[in-house]
Amino acid sequence: MRPVNGIEFLHHPWNDHPVALVWGVRVDGVDLRARTAWATRELWRPELADQFEDQDQDRESAELIWRQHGGLGVLDFTENPFLRTADRTPLLGCPCGIWQCWPLMARVAMTPTTVTWSAFHYPERAEWGELPLGPFVFERQIYEAALSAPEVLAEDPLGPAPESLGRFP
């Protein structure tokens, strides 16, 4: 049997429009955006190597990777994106607010007792293939309970990018 992961859903303000709320997710207590930043760090390397000037590269690369996603914005919170099951289910959106611009997609599969997120990928970066992230398996009852009562936060919980994220060996 697979180990079961913890899941938390939350709503927090969208950075560019603080009165608008977006969905956030924590897996085993860690923001899914942070997990994605670490998982894609090496994939970004070729694109970022020439983009920033040498002295600012570490800081700017780290910020770009760390903030590559906002929460998942939806106009109607009764339309729950995390209950869709498909090979292409959006779990995170673009910071611009149009989630289709840079979505983190995954396969979501449900059984009577579990919900599994796997095959994480970016449609815009097919050459990256499946990301080194997950799979995550959640107890369905806990998943649905967390989804029905997301914590509402006063600010985006992501915090600043760790300095080590942008340092490419």
Considering the domain boundaries, does residue 122 fall inside one? yes
> What is the tally of structural domains in the chain?
1
Q: Is the pLDDT of residue 128 over 70?
A: yes
3 state DSSP class of 45: helix
The rounded distance, in Å, linking the Cα atoms of 143 and 116 is 10
Considering the domain boundaries, does residue 1 fall inside one? no
Q: What is the DSSP code (8-state) at residue 5?
A: P
Domain that holds residue 111: 7-158
Within a 13 Å sphere around the CA of 132, how many CA atoms are in the beta-carbon half? Answer: 7
Q: pLDDT digits over 36-69, tens only? A: 999 998 898 887 776 655 556 667 778 888 989 8
pTM, 2 dp: 0.88
Considering the domain boundaries, does residue 15 fall inside one? yes
